Amino acid sequence: KMAIRELKVCLLGDTGVGKSSIVCRFVQDHFDHNISPTIGASFLTKTVPCGSELHKFLIWDTAGQEGSPSSSTLSSPSVPCRRTMDFHTSLS
């Protein structure tokens, strides 16, 4: 039996920059240029083999309005997401 390692990922960034398209490409192996805007946040998972382990990605895709009251659930203790850098900064 393979060990399962859970990896938690939060995508943060401005509205309309392509966060949902990137998640769709990773999870479903399909890139959609015209994906509908995310409302609030969506949650997806994908499990991939990596050596002798399975890596299960737990992905929060935000709507790009992290400062709004509706996104306050992302900072609750039950959701272990923490902002370490801006999405834009991580791509440069």
16-36, pLDDT tens digit by residue?
899 999 999 999 998 888 888
Per DSSP, 25 falls in state H
Position 75 scores a pLDDT of 46
Token pair of 46 as six digits: 């994908």
Question: Could you give the number of structural domains in the chain?
Answer: 1
63 found inside a domain: yes
Give the CATH number of the domain where residue 39 resides: 3.40.50.300
Domain hosting 7: range is 3-68+75-83
89 found inside a domain: no
Give the residue-averaged pLDDT of 30-48: 89
In angstroms, what CA-CA distances link 1 with 25, 52, 53, 56, 75? Answer: 28, 9, 9, 15, 34
Q: Taking the model in full, what pTM does it have?
A: 0.68
Position 1 scores a pLDDT of 82
- Residue 91: pLDDT over 80: no
Mean pLDDT of the residues in the chain: 77
Give the residue-averaged pLDDT of 59-77: 63
88 found inside a domain: no
14 found inside a domain: yes
